[in-house]
Amino acid sequence: MTINYKWWKDATIYQVWPASFKDSNGDGIGDIPGIVSKLDHIKNLGADIIWLSPMYDSPQNDMGYDISDYESVYPKYGTLEDMDILIDQIHKRGMRLILDLVINHTAAEHKWFQESKSSKTNPKRDWYIWKPPKYDSKGNRQPPNNWVSYFSGSAWEYDETTGEYYLHLFAKNQPDLNWENEHTRNALYKSALSFWFDKGIDGFRIDTAGMYSKDQRFLDAPIVFPDREFQPCKLYHQNGPRIHEFHQEMFKRVTSKYDAMTVGEVGHSSHDEVLKYVGAGRGEMNMLFLFDMVELGSDPRDRFIYNGYNLPDLKTAVTNQAEFIGTEGWTTVFNENHDQPRSVTRFGNDDPKWRVQSGKLLALLMSSLSGTLFLYQGQEIGMTNVPKEWPIEEYKDINSMNYYNELLQEGASDERIAQFMKVLNLVARDNARTPVQWDASAHAGFSTGKPWMRVNDNYPDINAESQYNDPHSLYNFWKSCLSLRKQHKDLFVYGDLEILDFDNQKTFSFLKKSDDKTVLVVLNFTDKEIDFEPLVKGDLKLLHSNYTKVSQQLEPYEGRVYSVY
């Protein structure tokens, strides 16, 4: 197999979500100088690229994914000069920086939308998606169709100024841009992409990268939730008719001019559709985030409908995401980000007895899988979901709050609310958004002021400072995994995957193969001892493990990596 090496394939990428990373000035909100002060934490871990979630100016209804000006920085995070310093300091350490590219929508506060909504004849009217109301048989005004927003309620908002509705697939203050209009596209390329490439960034994580091309018929979506007024509408906005044309144009006009990497958030797509986005000769994007693993157990149409999963489901998810290795495409490896709960809670065991052990097990899994590996802030120290006892007041995310408020409006019973709170605690995005736990001092060393969101109560036990000099800490274990991954990249980054025990509910055993080498990875996903069965012929030599001694038994949450001869 000829390997097509690329810097962005070998790299480990560390995601920084600015509001909760590190506050430098005591206002309780993370900021860019705070990030600069912690770059060595990221560098020493062994990461190569930093992905910075939106730091642009924004009213922060969706924590910066509602951008009011692509060319300026949210003042509480810092200034353009701070960004220059960040870029410089990252490059000085031999790392690279990618930013978040949020171009499916802007904030309603963006000057383009303000112009667009001002009158039907404004030159920017058509930069967003406006439609006249529909009227029901009683003459009541209704939205143009039955599409539901990802943040609950109709995806359309009525605007009194001109008596029309605008489309917002996300929050009300996130109007969707009209990609059909080439002036809109040109303005985006200039303001959102070129402006930052010219400042020296190395690429983009592309938000909702499959949604720009809407089916222009704007038909009602099929009714899949008969008890609900508004229905999921992916069918009409995901992988739409012109989506590949748009990506090719953006690549040709801008991205191709730089030695840049791109990773698109697409979520769910068929194998063939994914290859259209990431096929090497396609000129679109380098790789995609697919949600098979992170959405395990949740209904893809509604994350708060949770049915659970078992280990074979996880293996299927891993397989689905890995199947682009060895094709002309490429893939990503991740199990956390700012939209997902903490992996130790979801896929390991966050009980203090097993937290570190199962965190290490997951580190062995993730660092052995082929594709570009992404880590999310706090994952490397084993941060967990928020405590079960936290009341709804501690949850801040618009996704969580809108859903909760809708339940209240519908008059949901106490039992239904209690059941929702359980699911919320398991899958809410808030779980990833608590401040990073730097040390055991007040507010976990995140800020000298009151943090904008409550710090997880377990910070005295889980914090970075206590892990740096502990050879058995999760931070140092991740470090060893990332270094092993680099050392044997033909196997771990580029190798082929073969699962050996697909139906086993307790262990996950697989081979990774390159042209001339094979490794065996064996992971015990339970809190019980299990007999160790290699399931492969040949001599085994231990390369890595999360226990100091190995025996014929796999200890609870034990993981091992062997060379096979």
* Lookup: tokens for 512: 């990774």
Q: Is 102 in the site for ligand NOJ (CB under 6 A)?
A: yes
What is the number of the residue whose Cβ is closest to ligand NOJ? 65
- Give the x-and-dash track for 259-278 against ligand NOJ (CB under 6 A): ------x-------------
CB closer to ligand NOJ out of 208 and 367: 208
Q: How many CB atoms lie within 10 A of CB 229?
A: 11
- Give the x-and-dash track for 480-519 against ligand NOJ (CB under 6 A): ----------------------------------------
Catalytic annotation, residues: 207, 265
- Distance of alpha carbon 288 from alpha carbon 565, whole angstroms: 34
Sole binder of ligand NOJ in the list 202, 339, 430, 501 (CB under 6 A): 339
CB 164 to ligand NOJ: min, Å: 23
Sole binder of ligand NOJ in the list 14, 65, 390, 459 (CB under 6 A): 65
Chain residues 191-210 in contact with ligand NOJ, contact rule CB under 6 A: 207-208
| φ and ψ of 352, to 5 deg | -50, -30
CB 524 to ligand NOJ: min, Å: 32
| DSSP-derived pairing of the beta strands 287-290 and 261-267 | parallel
**Are 194 and 201 in contact, with CB atoms under 8 Å apart?**
no
CB 400 to ligand NOJ: min, Å: 12
Q: How many CB atoms lie within 10 A of CB 248?
A: 15
Size of the site for ligand NOJ (CB under 6 A): 9
CB closer to ligand NOJ out of 170 and 390: 170
CB closer to ligand NOJ out of 207 and 336: 207
Q: Is 62 in the site for ligand NOJ (CB under 6 A)?
A: yes
CB closer to ligand NOJ out of 338 and 485: 338
CB 267 to ligand NOJ: min, Å: 9
- Give the x-and-dash track for 241-260 against ligand NOJ (CB under 6 A): --------------------
CB closer to ligand NOJ out of 208 and 255: 208
CB 150 to ligand NOJ: min, Å: 7
CB 309 to ligand NOJ: min, Å: 22
**Are 242 and 138 in contact, with CB atoms under 8 Å apart?**
no
CB closer to ligand NOJ out of 69 and 527: 69
CB closer to ligand NOJ out of 102 and 221: 102
**Are 239 and 247 in contact, with CB atoms under 8 Å apart?**
no
**Are 156 and 165 in contact, with CB atoms under 8 Å apart?**
yes
CB 205 to ligand NOJ: min, Å: 9
- Distance of alpha carbon 165 from alpha carbon 134, whole angstroms: 10
CB closer to ligand NOJ out of 338 and 443: 338
* Lookup: tokens for 201: 């960034």
Give all strands of the β-sheet with 130-131 in edge-to-edge order.
Answer: 130-131, 164-167, 156-159
CB closer to ligand NOJ out of 147 and 170: 170
CB 169 to ligand NOJ: min, Å: 8
| φ and ψ of 150, to 5 deg | -65, -20
Strand (E) or helix (H) holding 421: helix 414-427
- End-to-end Cα spacing for the chain: 20
Q: How many CB atoms lie within 10 A of CB 384?
A: 25
- Distance of alpha carbon 13 from alpha carbon 227, whole angstroms: 42
* Lookup: tokens for 426: 């398991």
**Are 423 and 460 in contact, with CB atoms under 8 Å apart?**
no
**Are 386 and 394 in contact, with CB atoms under 8 Å apart?**
yes
CB 62 to ligand NOJ: min, Å: 5
Chain residues 205-234 in contact with ligand NOJ, contact rule CB under 6 A: 207-208
Q: Of 126, 119, 156, 121, give the one whose Cα is nearest residue 141.
A: 156
- Distance of alpha carbon 462 from alpha carbon 469, whole angstroms: 14
- Distance of alpha carbon 149 from alpha carbon 338, whole angstroms: 19
- Distance of alpha carbon 334 from alpha carbon 322, whole angstroms: 11
Footprint of ligand NOJ (CB under 6 A): 62, 65, 102, 170, 207-208, 265, 338-339
